[in-house]
Structure 1
Amino acid sequence: MTASVAFIGLGVMGYPMAGHLANGGYTVTVYNRTTEKAKRWAEQYSGRWAATPAEAAQNADIVFACVGNDDDLRAVTLGEHGAFATMKPGSIFVDHTTTSATVAKELAAVAAKINVAFLDAPVSGGQAGAENGALTVMLGGEQAAYEAIGPALNCFAKMHRLLGPVGAGQTAKMVNQICIAGVVQGLAEALHFATHNGLDANAVVDVISKGAAQSWQMENRAHTMVEGQFDFGFAVDWMRKDLGIVLDQAKASGCHLPLTALVDQFYSQVQSMGGGRWDTSSLIALLNRQN
């Protein structure tokens, strides 16, 4: 077992992920932009906290990160206070942030110059998946580095797989978000249709969820959508960030994603309603408002 790891970023995902590593027997040092949260985590899990990413990464065999976006990732890796400043040769940097494939390749090149392996490893499963240790991790990078971190990933993931070179993990996460956008919009329209045509939408879901229409979104979000409950889950603001990455990559690669672009516009309208922090299932609120 790798004894010493660092975890940078203790948001709704990173906090429990780092906790699973500590519970799995790893010595974990954490860094968070809000120091009080890092101190609280260290007390809860009998771990250590650091004042900078560089301090957290010093002597770690694996450094995990889960921050906000491309710029946040650059901020915690580069410069004198970034993790790369102190990471030892032969160590591994694992990025769980959902970012562009471009920044993954950029930072992998920087890491290679200091003999540090870089894996882009975005996750799916949301806050509940992080808390329950049941995330799915999509990875890009070298096989040897992936195999080395496998036992650590098992602490918080039910599924992980190397899908290609650096950037492949982020590209796979884009595929994931394309699928979710389409499924949530379809589910929102279906429930809206059921209600406006005199059906008990919850009863209908109980039936059709046992057939070909079944999905994770239906099983986990349909009933709260019917009730108009959105104060939880994966925020619309985050989804728009992800879909922006998807649409940029689609343009660069010559792909046409008309449904994804349309759903992104719908999410923009949800933001205008004040729903930026609502769960992505709030697409139904937009449909209900239009009636």
Structure 2
Amino acid sequence: MNPSIQPRTYAPTAPRRVAFLGLGVMGHPMAGHLARAGHAVTVYNRTAARAAAWAEEFGAASGARPAPTPRAAAEGADIVFCCVGNDDDLRSVVLGEDGAFAGMQTGAIFVDHTTASAAVARELYAEARGRGLHFVDAPVSGGQAGAQNGQLTVMCGGDQAAFDAVAPVAEAFSRAFTRIGESGAGQLAKMVNQICIAGLVQGLSEAVAFGQLAGLDMPLVLDVIGKGAAQSWQLDNRGKTMVEGRFDFGFAVDWMRKDLGLVLDEARRNGACVPVTALVDQFYGDVQRAGGGRWDTSSLVTRLQPRREG
């Protein structure tokens, strides 16, 4: 069993023909959970070897198979799931002669789990409707561990009927799959999520660095304050690794900066005041310049910690 896919019990649902585009650290386990839940999954990845390896891992039990293009993967699918990098990556697998929309049958549903802009979600929603298709923007929270465990939180924007059709299938990799509102609302909710995380990680970083400079036993302090009002997912899951200086896992700084860029762009459009978010984005820029682009977001603490002697 691949250690990246954790075993779980799946809610019974009718098997569906689905496609999954993008088999990175999130998409690989998400597609795997769909296959293990009994759905017939066709996959596409820009690096074809990765799609072939995924199909070899999951195909024996489920008939899962790779496809050479997004269009080929989408042909005959009831639902096409996608998790790629950004707006441009999304358009590249959706539009054009080899894009998924070109292969989808009338009435099929495209579900985008990419953290992208609300603008591209609305753009592709309108394009889908013009083709007799459905489009749901559905960014996720829970990180790599949530994808591996099938415990992602998914925030959706789009039509109610399309959401209702997708929800039982998406339960294979999610613990909460919620419609927030119309097209783009899922992406906007994910931006709210990232604003919260940015502030929490900066606050936790300052607390850890302060406690270290004060000479406190920080693992003990974190255990104590984690039982009170300071408790958070970040404290529980990242506090002690911050103290230890371990960052070679989790959600990369490069990805967080991409997400915060989306937040800041949207804030300029809607007039929201997000000074802490803007400042933390600059701090993450410092981490990138120090060579930490692939470190976990908790590496924000490295700007503040006392220097470790070699």
Distance 1:166 1:201 in 2: 44
Residue 32 of structure 1 pairs with residue 49 of structure 2: no
Asked if structure 2 preserves the Cα contact closer than 8 Å seen for 1:5 and 1:27, the reply is yes
Secondary structure, aligned partner of 1:161: strand
Distance 1:134 1:79 in 2: 33
Aligned to 1:261: 278
Residue 162 of structure 1 pairs with residue 179 of structure 2: yes
How far 1:85 moved relative to its partner? 0.5
Aligned pair partner of 1:198 in 196, 215, 219 = 215
Instruction: Give the alignment of 1:19-168 within 5 angstroms.
Output: 19-46=32-59, 47-168=64-185
**TM-score w.r.t. length of structure 1:** 0.99
Aligned to 2:269: 252
Distance 2:15 2:180 in 1: 23
Instruction: Check 1:289–1:87 CA distance in 2 against 1; reply closer, same or farther (3 A cut).
Output: farther
Length, aligned pairs only? 291
Q: CA RMSD in A?
A: 0.9
Distance 1:108 1:126 in 2: 25
The one-letter amino acid paired with 1:278 is W
Instruction: Check 1:120–1:260 CA distance in 2 against 1; reply closer, same or farther (3 A cut).
Output: same
Percent of counterpart pairs with the same letter? 64
Asked if structure 1 preserves the Cα contact closer than 8 Å seen for 2:29 and 2:148, the reply is yes
**TM-score w.r.t. length of structure 2:** 0.93
Distance 1:124 1:29 in 2: 24
Where does structure 2 lack aligned partners over 5 or more consecutive residues? 1-13
How far 1:222 moved relative to its partner? 0.5
Distance 2:193 2:167 in 1: 22
Where does structure 1 lack aligned partners over 5 or more consecutive residues? none
Distance 1:260 1:59 in 2: 43
How far 1:135 moved relative to its partner? 0.2
Aligned to 1:10: 23
Distance 1:207 1:288 in 2: 21
Distance 2:76 2:130 in 1: 18
Aligned to 1:274: 291
Asked if structure 1 preserves the Cα contact closer than 8 Å seen for 2:264 and 2:278, the reply is yes
How far 1:153 moved relative to its partner? 1.1
How far 1:288 moved relative to its partner? 1.9
How far 1:158 moved relative to its partner? 0.4
How far 1:44 moved relative to its partner? 0.4
Asked if structure 2 preserves the Cα contact closer than 8 Å seen for 1:2 and 1:61, the reply is no
Aligned to 1:218: 235
